[in-house]
Amino acid sequence: MLGGPQTGFVVGRKDLVEKLNKNPMKRAVRVDKIRLAALEATLRLYRDPNRLAQTLPTHRLLARPISEMHEVARQVLPVLQSQLGEGWDLKTAPCTSQVGSGALPVEKLVSLAVLIAPLRPRGAGRLLNAAAASLRALPVPVLGRIENGSLLLDLRCLVDVEGSVANLARAYVAGGRQ
């Protein structure tokens, strides 16, 4: 996973690569000049591995320290609590972030999430689904996952904290704040 354009390399025995070159599908999956230029620019960043996390957003987020995520949570939690109201328990908790979706869907990283759970167990599933729908309906949709009776908002990739806080301030959840 290079953290650049969606492209890759075919590397292998000469006879197998030649066989691929003769396949008519090669034209359909051939990389165009723009992707090649983006791939080249990404590979150039790897020449300075000490600065890779600063110059390549993918690596920066993969290497993001938990302490940074705690700072994000410190800013996000009060806004969410105010929008959701007193019927909800909000806290931070460790979670795992799934890396990739095509190439590495099983790789996981330790991360930090905001957990949103209804205080009353009766109708908890309905309330969680309503909270998730409300967050998805925001001008900039907020996506979480429901797990073990809580709605989890993974903070690993939340970078525009100020914009996210302003966005979350627009949230309304039925049965939440009065």
pLDDT computed for residue 103 by the predictor = 57
Q: By the 8 A CB rule, do 116 and 131 touch?
A: yes
In this model, does residue 176 exceed pLDDT 60?
no
Could you tell me if 132 and 144 are in contact, meaning their C-beta atoms sit under 8 angstroms apart? yes
Cα separation values, 67 from 8, 38, 64, Å: 33, 32, 8
As a whole-number percent, the residues of the chain with pLDDT over 70 amount to 92
Average confidence score pLDDT of the chain:
86
The pLDDT confidence band at residue 145, using thresholds 50, 70 and 90, is: very high
What local confidence, expressed as pLDDT, does residue 153 receive?
A: 96
> Residue 113, Cα to own-chain centre: how many angstroms?
11
Q: Are 100 and 137 in contact (CB under 8 A)?
A: no
pLDDT surpasses 50 at 150? yes
| CA neighbor of 119 nearest in space, from 84, 145, 167 | 84
> What residue spans define the domains of the chain?
14-61, 64-168
**Which pLDDT tens digit goes with each residue over 65-78?**
999 999 999 999 99
Above pLDDT 90, what percent of the chain?
42
Q: What architecture does CATH give domain 64-168?
A: Alpha-Beta Complex (3.90)
pLDDT in the model for residue 102: 62
pLDDT in tens, 81-132: 888 888 899 999 999 988 766 655 677 899 999 999 999 888 889 999 999 9
Q: Quick one: tokens of 131?
A: 């909270």
pLDDT band at 62 (very low <50, low <70, confident <90, very high): confident
CB 145 within 8 A of CB 151: yes
Longest dimension (CA), the chain: 70
CA distance 161 to 142: 13
